Amino acid sequence: MHPPDRPPARPPAFDDSALRDAFDGVVRALYPRLAAAVHQVVRDPVAAEDIVHDALLATWRNRTAVDIPDGLPAYLYQACRNRALNYVRDRRRQDGTMVKDPERAEQVATRTAGVEDEVIATELQRALQQALARLAPGAREVFLLSRARGLTYNEIAKILDVSVKTVETQMSRALRALREQLSPWRD
């Protein structure tokens, strides 16, 4: 029992080394793209690096309080993009200028959206590969023959020397499992 004047001791924080290593790996993989995307918006390489560093540091410091439903890469991209847009807004206020070229602003928005789409597509591809690896071998084989090679169920049945009904069952299992595993990526 604890003395009444002292609150109970808190359990020690868990070791962050694995989380730190995972975060570091993601940062190393994404940093060049993040910096390039921010540079497209701010047009200042030093400011772009500062913005990316600040976003990464803030994300790490708030790791326990931040909910990241769409995956870390998408979250980091959005955090960097928001900080870049804030930087541009603040710069314009300081300079006393407003956007004089709406066409240029649209070009920047289109380019940054393209980078965001690329990051999301890469992460989705990785999630799909991991989900495929978790499928039962028969379901994975049927799925890949159908979707990757474009074969019909009859052709797959002949190749695997099984019934068409077995192919249908395996495809149904594969699609159900993939749908469940990739549910965070659905709109």
**pLDDT of the residue at 15:** 54
Q: Residue 185 is encoded by which pair of tokens?
A: 């990526």
| Between 176 and 61, the higher pLDDT residue | 176
162: confidence class by pLDDT, cuts 50, 70, 90: very high
Q: What digits encode the pLDDT tens for the residues 26-78?
A: 788 888 888 888 888 888 888 889 998 988 888 888 877 777 766 778 888 88
Residue 85 exposure: Cα atoms within 13 Å on the Cβ side: 12
- Give the C-alpha separation, 162 to 137, whole Å: 14
Which domains, ranges and CATH numbers included, belong to the chain? 19-126 (1.10.1740.10), 135-187 (1.10.10.10)
Distances (CA, A) of 166 to 35, 131, 141, 177: 50, 21, 12, 16
Per-residue pLDDT, averaged over 69-98, amounts to 77
In degrees, to the nearest 5, what angle opens at C-alpha 142 toward C-alphas 123 and 187?
35
- Decide: residue 61, CB within 10 A, 0-12 exposed, 13-18 middle, 19+ buried: exposed
Q: Residue 138 in contact with residue 170, Cβ under 8 Å?
A: yes
- Decide: residue 167, CB within 10 A, 0-12 exposed, 13-18 middle, 19+ buried: buried
- Give the C-alpha separation, 172 to 168, whole Å: 6
Residue 136 exposure: Cα atoms within 13 Å on the Cβ side: 11
Query: For the chain, what is the mean pLDDT?
Result: 78
